[in-house]
Amino acid sequence: MAPIAGAVALLDGLDPATAPVHPPIIRAALRHSQTVPDARMRLAWARYAHLGSYRLHGPYDPTTRQATLLYALALSESGRVLDAYRLHRHRLAVAQLCGPPEDLLAAHRDHAEARHAISQCEQADAEIRQALIWWHGHPALAGEGTRLLCSYAVILTGCGQNRAALRTLRAHPDLMPDTDAGLAELAGRLTAVQDVHPPICRRHPTGQPPSTTTAQRRTDWHEILRGLPPIPRDLAWARTGRGVGERP
């Protein structure tokens, strides 16, 4: 997202810890927190936008809900996964009260990923699977369907269930990323979760990241995703299949 005109100038000289709470500054902080290269400043301005919008508009305002999401993502990026999970839990509660279907599904997706990050793996698996089932009641939201499917595959892969992840992707060929860039992004996410999640996972078969290099695994995943054949319709049972794989 490109910075809004004048956002940096508006924030220049302000400390996010003490900046006055005004709508133009909150809007500038929202954009700035997505574009500033310094991770500490992203976190600081996202926190300012979240707290400021909550104070001015309350929890149900669209600006507050966007700011809460950005703050949760910044917390995850900084390693504060439990704090991020608490914010995602709050976002989900708000979306359940007032969110349209796309917001509710997105909140469930983010909540499931946050649960996975704090080792609530079985709950994360169940939640993302249920959200994907609910998505079929709103198939017009195709983009969210793809995001749900990719998140489901990432959760399974992080827990060492590579074969189950591939079966899940094969069972929903209509929701697979439809560009090579999208497949490459998914390959990167699958690779990254294999590096960070096994040591905190109670259901991973080894609790250790794969022995192959990150670059090699990213290439392997990309090639597999490019050539992944769909599951035949008469094997629809595989949609809920489980298995434990090693490297793809």
Q: What is the pLDDT of residue 164?
A: 97
Rounded Cα gap, residues 166 and 243, in angstroms: 10
pLDDT at 216: 96
116-126 pLDDT, tens digit each: 999 999 999 99
Rounded to whole angstroms, the Cα distance separating 106 from 121 reads 18
How far, rounded to the nearest angstrom, does the alpha carbon of residue 207 sit from its chain's CA centroid? 22
Tell me the per-residue pLDDT of 167-186, one tens digit each, with 9 for 90 and over: 999 999 999 999 999 999 99
Q: Produce one character per residue of 57-68: b if its CB has 16 or more CB atoms within 10 Å, e if not.
A: beeeeebbbebb
Half-sphere exposure of 219 (CA within 13 A, CB side): 5
Model-level pTM? Answer: 0.88
Predicted pLDDT of residue 241: 41
The structure tokens listed for 112 are 């499931």
First to last CA, the chain: 34
Which segments in the chain show pLDDT lower than 70? 1-9, 233-248
What is the C-alpha separation between 94 and 65, in angstroms, rounded? Answer: 8
Other residues' Cβ atoms within 10 Å of the Cβ of residue 225: 21
